[in-house]
């Protein structure tokens, strides 16, 4: 199925960082499941899917998050759906981690004869190409960068359906991780917060978009 360029650009012009939503309007279940499915289908480096998505509908839990999430003071109480995006830590993302082997063996269904070769390839990529083995933090940041691919896909899918969204980074990571550990059972040794995103329907007029012109950010080499 093909969507023309006009439809795509209209959706992108419709999309903005919606700060407050209509609390009386709920996204239909089928549409929200489609948004989550775009996250699941998103690409990731080597197909390792270094993410997890927490759909937070419990208002008591939202309030606990609101007390520390300064970037979602208005969206947490009003969003139809609120998602906390987690990224895997070095514990799961190192080339020889059990999680990596689970993906290669159980999800990708690689034959046993190929597993060691793929591990060696990933080791070289992490060690030499991107220098990710220099610190655990670099491995986490590598995973977190990939969650933003899924984040972008979710927001674009929402915009195509006329649903508003707001990506959120305005929070102290340690405090949010503690809330997720204590209230959601998240193993923060394995998964930590990367970003958040709220979905719903706007109540305020969309502000005028301000962007640099295309020629300021694109350099062509014909």
72 pLDDT above the threshold of 80:
yes
* Tokens 């606990």 belong to residue: 64
Residue range 167-184, pLDDT digits in tens: 999 999 999 999 999 999
Q: Is 96 exposed, middle or buried (0-12, 13-18, 19+ CB in 10 A)?
A: exposed
Q: Domain segments of the chain: what residues?
A: 14-217
**Do 89 and 190 contact (CB within 8 A), yes or no?**
yes
**Do 217 and 36 contact (CB within 8 A), yes or no?**
no
* Tokens 């690689």 belong to residue: 110
Secondary-structure breakdown of the chain: helix, strand, coil percentages, each rounded to the nearest 5: 50, 15, 35
Q: At what angle do helices 29-40 and 136-160 cross, to 10 degrees?
A: 140
More confident residue, 2 or 22: 22
Total residues found in the chain within this entry: 222
The model carries a pTM of 0.96
Tokens of 39: 């996250």
> What pLDDT does residue 191 have?
98
Nearest-angstrom CA–CA distance, 203 and 222: 45
> What pLDDT does residue 36 have?
98
163 pLDDT above the threshold of 80:
yes
Q: Which CATH number fits domain 14-217: 3.20.10.10, 3.30.2310.20, 1.10.286.10, 3.40.109.10?
A: 3.40.109.10
Give the contacts of 216 (CB within 8 A, at least 6 positions apart): none
Tokens of 154: 């979710």
pLDDT band at 2 (very low <50, low <70, confident <90, very high): confident
């Amino acid at each position: 199925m093909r969507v023309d360029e006009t439809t795509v650009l209209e959706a992108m012009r419709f999309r903005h960082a919606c700060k407050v939503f209509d609390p009386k309007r709920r996204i239909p279940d089928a549409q929200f499941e489609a948004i989550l499915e775009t996250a699941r289908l998103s690409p990731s480096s080597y197909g390792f899917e270094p993410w997890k998505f927490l759909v937070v509908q419990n208002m008591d839990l939202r309030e606990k998050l609101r007390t520390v999430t300064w970037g979602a003071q208005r969206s947490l109480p009003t969003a139809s759906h609120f998602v906390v995006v987690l990224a895997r830590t070095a514990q799961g993302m190192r080339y020889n981690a059990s999680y990596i082997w689970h993906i290669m063996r159980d999800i990708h269904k690689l034959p046993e004869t190929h597993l060691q070769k793929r591990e060696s390839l990933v080791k070289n990529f992490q060690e030499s190409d991107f220098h990710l083995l220099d610190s655990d933090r670099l491995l986490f940041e590598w995973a977190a960068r990939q969650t933003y691919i899924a984040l972008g896909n979710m927001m674009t899918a929402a915009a195509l359906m006329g649903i508003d969204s707001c990506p959120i980074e305005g929070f102290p990571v340690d405090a949010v991780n503690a809330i997720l550990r204590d209230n959601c059972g998240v193993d923060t040794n394995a998964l930590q917060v990367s970003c958040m995103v709220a979905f719903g329907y706007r109540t305020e007029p969309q502000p005028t978009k301000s962007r640099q012109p295309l020629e300021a950010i694109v350099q062509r080499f014909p």
